[in-house]
Chain A
Amino acid sequence: MATRPNRGRRARFTLRTIIRGWPWYYETAPVFPNEVLLRTVPNSIGYYSKVMGNWTIDPNAFQPAKDDDDGISLFREDFVTAEDLASLSTHAKGVRVARVLARECTSLYLSLKPAPDPPMPPGHTVIPEMIYLKRTAQTNIQVQNIKDFAQKLAQIASKNDIYTPPGMPDPVTRPRT
């Protein structure tokens, strides 16, 4: 007997998702160009700095981690709020949540692939062009390309508001001046 393919979780109930066809709007659906995508920014040293002009968000926040063998993770705001995403993080000092528009990603020739994953928050999406690569002589150019994508995404995200959970601590205790 044929089984129904898993369509993942349903979108949040908002005006935007109603227009997009809620309740038939599942997290396996292709990403709309005007969708907002969320990226967690660890509350770590240097990752958010207001003195850094176009790069208030550190490009390292968009660099793939060693588990990102299918690309860096973003989350669709139609399925999860920035507040919920921040609260689900396991980072000891919490995370901020940056926002980018889907079409801003695709304008860099990046793809957005829905990748629902039940242990992950809803709306999980990956950018397959930004996978983790160990730096070698053979991968050096690819690593540089990924670094460039990361700094461009950081510029885009830095233009937008970033969500900072209330009471977030300073990641480092500053010396007295």
Chain B
Amino acid sequence: MEERKLMYLPDLNPPAIVSTVGTPAPAIATASAISADIRAIQSWRERDFELATIREFAENWDGRGSDAPAFAAIEAAALFLAICKEKGPTNPPARISLSPSGFLSADWLEGDALLRAEILDRNEIEWMRAIPGHPTEFFTTALMGQTGTRTEQVQTWQPAPIAEEELALPYAR
């Protein structure tokens, strides 16, 4: 009984001393910002490396007889990516790829939307913004005079919405 009482003696269970930081939120925000920056840096490195690999593609790189990418097209793509990196260092493209026509595409996901830039030649980029169930938009910007604003809308096209309720095809047979 005596022991039990002792257990509740206040001096045996002193209140914890907690040292508080005035505002912890900025520290957490800084840490996550650094983490995001590191991810962005890694992504940019990967895109740079992928571009260097694409630059070396030979004829029939896709097994469908496509030409090797033209030097001018790859140079334009490199310039475009450099501009993107300068203007939006924390927003690298999620993917780059070469089209059968020999032009480089850079993709960003914006929520449900796909934003694709196809670098057509030294001074033209065709943008495509696709959202499931909505008309796809196309617009072009100039590469050298890039201001980040996309002005010229060329076409809106949607033959039919994709049937969202379609069942996926599993490989189990």
Contact = CB atoms under 8 A, between A and B. Distances in A.
A60 interface: yes
Contacts of A107: 160, 162-163
A99 B167 CA distance: 12
A45 B66 contact: no
Contacts of B120: 135
A144 B140 CA distance: 12
A148 to B, nearest CB: 5
Contact of B166 (A55, A132, A159): A159
A65 B49 contact: no
Contact of A45 (B50, B128, B162): B50
A148 B66 CA distance: 20
B168 A66 contact: no
B157 A148 contact: yes
A101 B169 contact: yes
Interface stretch (A2-10, A20-28, A88-96): A88-96
A42 interface: yes
A135 to B, nearest CB: 7
Contacts of B123: none
Given A36-B169, A60-B100, A65 B64 contact: yes
Given A54-B114, A161-B170, A67 B64 contact: yes
A60 B98 contact: yes
Interface residues on A, range: 35 or more
Interface of B: 42, 45-46, 49-50, 53-54, 60-67, 94-101, 105, 107, 109, 112, 114, 116, 120, 126, 128, 130, 132, 136, 138, 154-155, 157-160, 162-163, 166, 168-171
Given A144-B155, A148-B130, 5 more contacts: A51-B94, A91-B62, A141-B154, A144-B126, A174-B49
16 contacts: A45-B97, A46-B96, A59-B116, A63-B100, A66-B66, A90-B63, A95-B63, A109-B160, A140-B154, A144-B155, A147-B138, A148-B158, A149-B159, A151-B130, A155-B132, A175-B49
Interface of A: 36, 40, 42, 44-47, 49, 51-55, 58-60, 63-68, 89-92, 95, 99-101, 104, 107-109, 132, 135, 140-141, 144-145, 147-149, 151-152, 155-156, 159-161, 163, 171-172, 174-175, 177
Instruction: List the 8 closest A-B pairs by CB distance, nearest first.
Output: A46-B97, A91-B63, A160-B169, A65-B64, A65-B100, A161-B171, A42-B62, A159-B168
